[in-house]
Amino acid sequence: MRELLRVASTGAPVDLAAIDPRSTPGLPPGAGHGSHRKTWARGQVELIGAGLGRQQEMLFATAKVAAGPAAPASAPVAAGGHLGGDRPGRVLVVLQAMDCGGKDGAVKRVAGAMNPLGLHIRSFGPPTGEELRHDFLWRIRRALPPPGFVGVFNRSHYEDVLVARVDRLVPETTWRARYDEINAFERELVDAGVALVKVMLHISPAEQGERLAERLTDPTKHWKYDPSDLEARARWADYQAAYAEALGRCGTGDAPWFVIPADRKWYRDWALAHLLSETFAALHLGYPAADFDVERELRRLRDGGSPQPSERSEVNSR
């Protein structure tokens, strides 16, 4: 699946128009035809999802044992964006798409199959005042997953070469310089043991139109709609050109870009689950060996008998 969805790392803009958003690359003949494929794919996502959960647990377990018994719980608040090359692995999924591209839905279905305790999901909107006072990668670094976690970026640093370019938020020299800055940053992540999975969910303008109409006609979806969505839609080709160049400039050998045709939600979820599964497989994870003497601990547990009956010493000391 990785080979089928990966875009060439040539530096030249990716030809997105050549990728049909309704296509289903890699879908096996066994999936059947017509509406059967959807049922098949949904079932497969459940199956693959169970495997993702096991892989995620191994990743978490490995990081916990590597950190040692005295280490604090891997609380995200303690992450602070520090990276150490000798620390165990982590996974980071970077999700980008046009409005209505299905990022939220994909997270819900694919990340939702994993244990929420080991997920580190961050959404990036327009930068706050404090974020604007820093380099564009400042808020990204602060949001990196700690070792052992599966991170998901719902939008990312790529917005700084997408909306920043199309809406002319910064001069062209500024956003052009960011391609190299992004490549250097991602090189650093890869060297620190982060398995990067960069995914563009690729939809057609027609599909976006249908999904926007649905958000406008279903009152339980009004909250997902923003009038500015139509301004962005009007600049569809500008955005596609910005994506094409970003994917071409920042798709590297160790941090490739994948484009998932996303007009069909069931294919989108199946393909993303598959990509993640392949990413985990390449990490060759397993449950870590005990860093204590198992037999000795079993004896201690048995000999310990029942715990102390009362809090006598504590009461006496008051």
Residues 82-141 that bind a second copy (CB under 8 A): 104, 107-108, 111-112, 114-117, 119, 121-128, 131, 139
Pick 253 or 304: Cβ nearer a second copy: 304
**What is the spatial distance between Cα 95 and Cα 244, in angstroms, rounded to a whole number?**
15
Binding to a second copy in span 251-270, by CB under 8 A = none
CB 31, CB 253: distance < 8 Å: no
The mark string for 45-74 relative to a second copy (x by CB under 8 A, - otherwise) is ----------------xx-xx---xxxxxx
**What is the spatial distance between Cα 175 and Cα 172, in angstroms, rounded to a whole number?**
5
Cβ within 8 Å of residue 284, ≥6 positions away: none
Q: Does 173 participate in binding a second copy (rule CB under 8 A)?
A: no
Least distance CB 259 / a second copy (angstroms) = 19
Q: Does 17 participate in binding a second copy (rule CB under 8 A)?
A: no
What element of type H or E holds 92? strand 90-97
Among 15, 226, 254, 278, interactor with a second copy by CB under 8 A: 226
**What is the spatial distance between Cα 165 and Cα 187, in angstroms, rounded to a whole number?**
23
**What is the spatial distance between Cα 77 and Cα 55, in angstroms, rounded to a whole number?**
24
Least distance CB 30 / a second copy (angstroms) = 28
Q: Which stretch binds a second copy (CB under 8 A): 3-11, 22-30, 275-283, 300-308?
A: 300-308
**Burial bucket for residue 110 (CB in 10 Å: 0-12, 13-18, 19+):** buried
Q: Which stretch binds a second copy (CB under 8 A): 35-43, 182-190, 221-229, 246-254?
A: 221-229
Among 44, 240, 277, 279, interactor with a second copy by CB under 8 A: 240
Pick 153 or 257: Cβ nearer a second copy: 153
Least distance CB 235 / a second copy (angstroms) = 7
| Lookup result for tokens 């199959």 | 113
What element of type H or E holds 199? strand 194-202
Pick 122 or 264: Cβ nearer a second copy: 122
Pick 2 or 64: Cβ nearer a second copy: 64
CB 139, CB 130: distance < 8 Å: no
**Burial bucket for residue 186 (CB in 10 Å: 0-12, 13-18, 19+):** buried
CB 141, CB 134: distance < 8 Å: no
Among 133, 173, 289, 316, interactor with a second copy by CB under 8 A: 289
Q: Does 169 participate in binding a second copy (rule CB under 8 A)?
A: no
Among 217, 253, 284, 316, interactor with a second copy by CB under 8 A: 217
Q: Does 156 participate in binding a second copy (rule CB under 8 A)?
A: no
Least distance CB 33 / a second copy (angstroms) = 30
Nearest Cα to 96, choosing from 277, 280, 272?
272
Tell me the β-bridge partners of 258.
6, 199
CB 137, CB 164: distance < 8 Å: no
Q: Which stretch binds a second copy (CB under 8 A): 2-10, 36-44, 217-225, 265-273?
A: 217-225
